[in-house]
């Protein structure tokens, strides 16, 4: 596509699409349980610091790479550094998107099953043991989760097929406000439950004794995942942003909204957890077992649980769209495959990975690689290896490879906006971000312990 006529998001469209990518299962499912496991307020504080000092600068970097180059993830690196091997970083992002989708659509499919069960009022007067059993039965079943997963992938594909403007921008501009509305309603309901303020205390009470290297590193990793960084998602979306858009303020708004949803999700969940006397330090099953248990005891349980799982499905959908777009933009611009063929072809590929991930929880349970089934393998490979590595190279690229003047021109839209923080930004992309991410990476393999941190 010629550079001049690349499709542009409107200002609001850019924020809706990028926030849609960032806000996902990471905010509503992963953040609350990490927070519960790592002791509440202390984790929140560390998380916010990671978002400000690492997440925000890396997001600004990704936006500028994409908008400067006006191309997909791999094409952006190729355009800006035609001689080197930097395009491999973009290609890695495309592969990473594919693998993330492989397990993400499985969990997204579960949200559809839970919407259906909520509407059928399946959670009222059911014991926790039964809820536990029914989640295990469902998630390890051979066919049911796959049906929902295929349906969810088809929704994603349909929106991406409709294009950047009419599909992605239009749908996220509609879904994101709806998502905010639902999460606020749920938050208010939760706080006003008897004893609900206990949950708020847990959330905002900061016990500094709980902060250790483990907590810091898990907060950093979560910040990256939650903001969709390290694999070209924000490069691709940045490439659709208008040249007059203030990139740093867009990134700031996306970051604030993403953090707000994570906090709102916790506000919706923890007061209810405390009100019904449940242990807050629960793992991943918090959303699919604990919450239905809570809903089962509330008046109008079907309504609250339906709203909640719709929220989860919407949040997932705006994220899967962004992941699929990374692949489709790449196939379209680099491999010259039509958007339609690229979207359908890659969706079929995603479904195949999804089937492998879903089977690995049930009939393929015994089959493992490095001790992990496909579901866990896809998760670990992307969030523990590919995304941190991508994040390091993206920071280094902006910090060292691109000319400082060019970055200034891009961030200031040719001098239109003031960029007083340019030197701090460069300091972070050159040193702080690559080193901090390297530490997360080493920590995943236990190397930091070995080195004596
Ligand atoms: N950020 C999303 C979430 O919080 C997930 C996601 C979408 C993502 N696109 C991504 C994660 C790109 C990493 C990279 O659920």
Q: Find out whether the beta carbon of 318 lies less than 6 Å from any atom of ligand 1.
A: no
Look up residue 452 and give its two tokens. 């004596």
Domain of residue 430, CATH code: 1.20.1740.10
Q: Ligand 1 centroid vs 447 CA: distance in angstroms?
A: 26
Q: Find out whether the beta carbon of 228 lies less than 6 Å from any atom of ligand 1.
A: yes
Atom number, ligand 1, closest to the C-alpha of residue 383: 13
Please identify every stretch of the chain with a pLDDT value under 50, giving residue numbers as ranges.
1-2
Atom number, ligand 1, closest to the C-alpha of residue 25: 15
Q: Ligand 1 centroid vs 297 CA: distance in angstroms?
A: 32
Q: Find out whether the beta carbon of 24 lies less than 6 Å from any atom of ligand 1.
A: yes
Look up residue 170 and give its two tokens. 């239009």
Domain span at 253: 3-451
How many CA atoms are closer than 13 Å to the CA of 264, on its beta-carbon side? 21
Predicted confidence at residue 130, as pLDDT, reads 87
Predicted confidence at residue 196, as pLDDT, reads 83
Domain count along the chain: 1
34 C-beta neighbours (distance < 10 Å), count: 20
Q: Find where tokens 């719709």 sit.
A: 310
Predicted confidence at residue 1, as pLDDT, reads 43
Q: Which residues make Cβ contacts (< 8 Å) with residue 282, sequence separation at least 6?
A: 33, 36, 37, 290
Task: Give the whole-angstrom CA distance, residue 365 versus residue 373.
Answer: 7
Atom number, ligand 1, closest to the C-alpha of residue 231: 14
The three-point CA angle 378-219-260 to 5° equals 100
Task: Give the whole-angstrom CA distance, residue 184 versus residue 198.
Answer: 18
Q: Check: CB of residue 105 under 8 Å from CB of residue 317.
A: no
């Amino acid at each position: 596509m010629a550079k001049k006529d690349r499709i542009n998001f409107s200002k609001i469209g850019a924020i809706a699409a990028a926030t849609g990518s960032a806000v996902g299962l990471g905010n509503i499912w992963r953040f609350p349980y990490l927070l519960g496991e790592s002791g509440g307020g202390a984790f929140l504080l560390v998380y916010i610091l990671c978002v400000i000092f690492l997440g925000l600068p890396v997001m600004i970097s990704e936006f500028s790479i994409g908008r400067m180059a006006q191309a997909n993830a791999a094409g952006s690196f190729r355009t800006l550094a035609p001689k080197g091997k930097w395009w491999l970083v973009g290609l890695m992002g495309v592969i990473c998107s594919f693998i993330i989708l492989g397990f993400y659509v499985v969990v997204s499919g579960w949200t559809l099953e839970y919407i259906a069960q909520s509407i059928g009022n399946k959670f009222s007067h059911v014991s926790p043991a039964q809820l536990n059993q029914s989640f295990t039965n469902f998630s390890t079943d051979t066919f049911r989760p796959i049906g929902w997963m295929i349906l969810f992938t088809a929704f994603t594909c349909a929106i991406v097929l409709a294009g950047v403007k009419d599909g992605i921008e239009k749908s996220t501009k509609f879904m994101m406000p709806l998502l905010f509305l639902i999460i606020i309603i749920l938050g208010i309901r939760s706080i006003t439950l008897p004893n609900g303020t206990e949950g708020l205390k847990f959330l905002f009470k900061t016990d500094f004794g709980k902060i250790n290297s483990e907590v810091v590193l898990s907060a950093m990793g979560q910040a990256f995942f939650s903001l969709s960084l390290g694999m070209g998602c924000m490069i691709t979306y940045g490439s659709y942003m208008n040249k007059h858009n203030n990139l740093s303020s867009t990134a700031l708004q996306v970051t604030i909204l993403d953090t707000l949803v994570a906090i709102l999700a916790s506000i919706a969940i923890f007061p209810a957890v405390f009100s019904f006397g449940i242990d807050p330090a629960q793992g991943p099953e918090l959303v699919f077992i604990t919450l239905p248990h809570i809903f089962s005891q509330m008046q109008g349980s079907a309504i609250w649980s339906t709203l909640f799982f719709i929220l989860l499905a919407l949040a997932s959908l705006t994220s899967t769209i962004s992941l699929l777009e990374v692949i489709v933009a790449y196939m379209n611009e680099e491999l010259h495959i039509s958007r339609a063929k690229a979207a359908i072809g890659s969706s079929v590929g995603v479904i195949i990975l999804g089937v492998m991930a879903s089977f690995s929880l049930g009939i393929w349970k015994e089959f493992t690689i490095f001790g992990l089934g496909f579901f866990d393998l896809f998760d670990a490979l992307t969030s523990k290896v590919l995304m941190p590595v991508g994040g390091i190279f993206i920071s280094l690229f902006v910090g060292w490879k691109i000319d400082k003047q060019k970055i200034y021109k891009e961030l200031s839209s040719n001098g239109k906006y003031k960029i007083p923080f340019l030197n701090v930004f460069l300091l972070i992309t050159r040193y702080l971000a690559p080193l901090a991410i390297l530490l997360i990476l080493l920590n995943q393999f236990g190397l930091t312990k070995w080195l004596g941190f």
